[in-house]
A = this chain, B = another copy of it.
Amino acid sequence: MTDIQNKSIQTFLDELASKSATPGGGSASALMGAQGAALISMACHLTIGKPQYTEVEAQMQRLLEKAEALRAELTLLIKADIDVFNRLMAAYRLPKDTEAEKSARSEAIQAILKDATEVPLACAQACREVMALSQIAVEKGSVGVVSDAGAAAMSAYSGLKTAALNVYINTGGLKDRDFSTAKLAELAAILNGADESVEAIFQQVKAKL
């Protein structure tokens, strides 16, 4: 089977729109994050080498490296979300006729729900980092690509919020309350200030246009 990132945009959108449960919101969230990271890289590429921006060239080079690492991570997460969701669906289909089967099925579901919490949590973290990088791109990058740096922030923000919804849904099914409380606390820390930050970046970009 072709890995999701090697499918065309049209096919991805068709599969997203289809009856099939995967790809769904989780993959969409990772793609939004990856797109945000890519837009930061673009802003860096179009700043580096410009005579007016030699002062920030080293900083833009580091920004580019970080954005590319996050883009690679988020691109993998498009597929990771599909994989963990398919594993979860398979666990739900396990037999539950005997007490032993019921217990084995429940254990399998609970184990996979933990993975299904970690995947969007990693996505949320990476998207938040993309937002932080976009702030630097907006402030220090070429003014010619400031709207692309702003687009990066918007895209990563929606990836973050969508990932958050996926953490909520999967922790909701978890019996291990200590685990889910810990993960929800991690998520809350990641989300902290994101709404204000994206609005500030939007206004900052608008003011530069």
**Which residues does A use to contact B, with CB under 8 Å?**
4-10, 12-14, 16-19, 21, 24-25, 28-29, 31-32, 34-35, 37-39, 41-42, 45-46, 67-68, 71, 75, 78, 145, 147-148, 150-152, 154-155, 157-158, 161-162, 165-166, 168-169, 172, 195, 199, 202, 205-206, 209
Beyond the given pairs A24-B151, A32-B32, A165-B205, 9 more chain A to chain B contacts, judged by CB atoms under 8 angstroms and listed by A's residue number, are: A16-B42, A17-B45, A25-B150, A25-B152, A28-B35, A32-B154, A147-B168, A157-B158, A165-B209
A62 to chain B, nearest CB (A): 16
A27 to chain B, nearest CB (A): 10
A77 to chain B, nearest CB (A): 12
Select which of B13, B24, B148, B202 is within 8 A of A25 by beta carbon: B148
- Show 27 A/B contacts (Cβ-Cβ < 8 Å), sorted by A: A5-B8, A6-B10, A9-B31, A9-B78, A14-B38, A17-B41, A17-B71, A18-B41, A24-B39, A24-B148, A25-B39, A25-B148, A25-B151, A28-B155, A29-B151, A32-B32, A32-B154, A32-B158, A147-B165, A147-B166, A147-B169, A155-B162, A157-B158, A158-B158, A165-B202, A165-B206, A168-B206
